């Protein structure tokens, strides 16, 4: 019986491979060799880990997933394999198919928190699926399918007619917290869901995308009408207890994910752009109780996000100075390359 199950899984995976190859066919690199070289010189160590230079030089599943994704977008299989090798050896150490989220070079053991971060797992699975199609690698497709299936099994719940993506396998559900379920809307990587549906077919992927887009639209806190990083959806959505009630470093990437996936109405993108932009064009993080500015985000990797949202919504084109990539810190540099990759794929046009 086991042999037949394995054969069936192989057939499904081969079918998915054909579809992914079709999606990837003819796609030139959208991250230039020069930009990728600068990025990896700044953040990729020889062992394959992406270093979060703004967070004590730790590594985490999010960073590994981003690194793998950018390696695909730069069409560099050698660097992809290096990052994937570290990821599967050092982070895929849980017994449920998900990744431990945090790896610290200063500690023994290096994994200091065995819980997963669902966005990291999505990024890793998505990058593997894209790599499978781009380089015709069945092993990448199988690895993507395994992680994608684990995401559905361990982090997706249905409550009150809604499909929710939990930020981790433990700690955020209604049995874990008085205000649970708690979600993080920046974990909704919308463009990944149709691709993950190819390797691990399930109607849940579309439900996650549809309900997630509706959630982002409904999360409009303070006069700035912005989503919080962490939101309780137990009853009426509100910033979750125990977390700063802020539009913070997590949420700043929400417009980027919407724009890249061409998801969300022009009105939603315009609202997010307006809410997160300061008078001088910089982005900001905000206290969602008072509306006060917390941090001014002047790095080009942050400033390009509201500019991209505005462009996709039908507004202004991207300022020329934001189209030049020079690495700064890990996180804004990553977001910057993802924004520039989208522009390259769309011939420099947003609409």
- CA 125 to each of CA 49, 69, 139, 312, 349: distance values in angstroms, whole numbers, following the listed order: 17, 10, 12, 27, 28
Catalytic choice (119, 121, 179, 246): 119
For the chain, how long is the longest CA-to-CA vector?
A: 65
In the numeric block, the tokens 């192989």 are attached to: 10
Q: Would you say 49 and 59 are in contact if contact means Cβ atoms under 8 Å apart?
A: yes
Active-site residue identified among 52, 62, 90, 246: 62
Give the per-residue SS3 of the chain. Answer: CHHHHHHHHHHHHHHHHHHHHHHHCCCCCCCCHHHHHHHHHHHECCCCCECECCCCCEEEHHHHHHHHHHHHHCCCHHHHHHHHHHHHHHHCCCCCCCCCCEECCCCCCCEEECCCCHHHHHHHHHHHHHHHHHHCCHHHHHHHHHHHHHHHHHHEEEECCEEEECCCCCCCCCCCCCCCCEECHHHCCCCHHHHHHHHCCCHHHHHHHHHHHHHHHHCCECCCCECCCCEECCCCCEECCCCCCEECCCHHHHHHHHHHHCCCCHHHHHHHHHHHECCCCCEEEEECCCCCEEEEECCHHHHHHHHHHHHHCCCCCCCHHHHCCCCCCHHHHHHHHHHHHHHHHCCCCCC
Q: Does 62 participate in catalysis according to the annotation?
A: yes
Active-site residue list: 62, 119
């Amino acid at each position: 019986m086991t042999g037949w199950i394995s054969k069936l899984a192989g057939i499904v995976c081969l079918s998915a491979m054909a579809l992914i190859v079709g999606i990837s066919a003819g796609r030139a690199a959208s991250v230039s060799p020069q930009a990728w070289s600068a990025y990896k010189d700044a953040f990729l160590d020889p062992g394959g880990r992406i270093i979060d230079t703004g967070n004590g030089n730790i590594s985490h599943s999010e960073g590994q997933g981003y690194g793998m994704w950018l390696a695909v977008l730069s069409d560099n299989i050698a660097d992809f394999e290096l990052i994937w090798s570290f990821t599967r050896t050092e982070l895929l150490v849980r017994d449920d198919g998900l990744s431990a989220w945090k790896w610290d070079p200063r500690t023994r053991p290096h994994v200091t928190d065995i819980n997963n971060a669902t966005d990291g797992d999505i990024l890793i699975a998505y990058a593997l699926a894209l790599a499978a199609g781009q380089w015709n690698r069945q092993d990448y497709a199988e690895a993507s399918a395994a992680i994608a299936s684990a995401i559905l099994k361990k982090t997706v719940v249905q409550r009150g007619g809604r499909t929710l993506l939990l930020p981790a396998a433990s700690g955020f559900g209604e049995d874990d917290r008085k205000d649970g379920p708690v979600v993080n809307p920046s974990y909704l990587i919308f463009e990944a869901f149709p691709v993950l549906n190819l390797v691990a077919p399930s109607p849940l992927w579309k439900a996650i995308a549809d309900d997630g887009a509706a959630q982002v639209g409904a999360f409009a806190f303070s006069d700035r009408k912005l989503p919080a990083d962490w939101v309780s959806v137990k009853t009426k959505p509100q910033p979750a207890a125990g977390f700063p009630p802020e539009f913070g470093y997590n949420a700043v990437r929400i417009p980027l994910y919407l724009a890249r996936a061409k998801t969300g109405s022009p009105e939603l993108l315009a609202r997010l752009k307006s809410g997160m932009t300061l008078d001088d064009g910089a982005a900001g993080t905000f206290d969602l109780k008072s509306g006060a500015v917390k941090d001014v985000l002047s790095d080009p990797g942050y400033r390009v996000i509201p500019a991209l949202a505005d462009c996709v919504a039908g507004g202004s084109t991207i300022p020329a100075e934001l189209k030049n990539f020079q690495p700064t810190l890990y996180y804004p540099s990553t977001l910057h390359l993802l924004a520039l990759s989208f522009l390259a794929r769309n011939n420099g046009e947003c609409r």
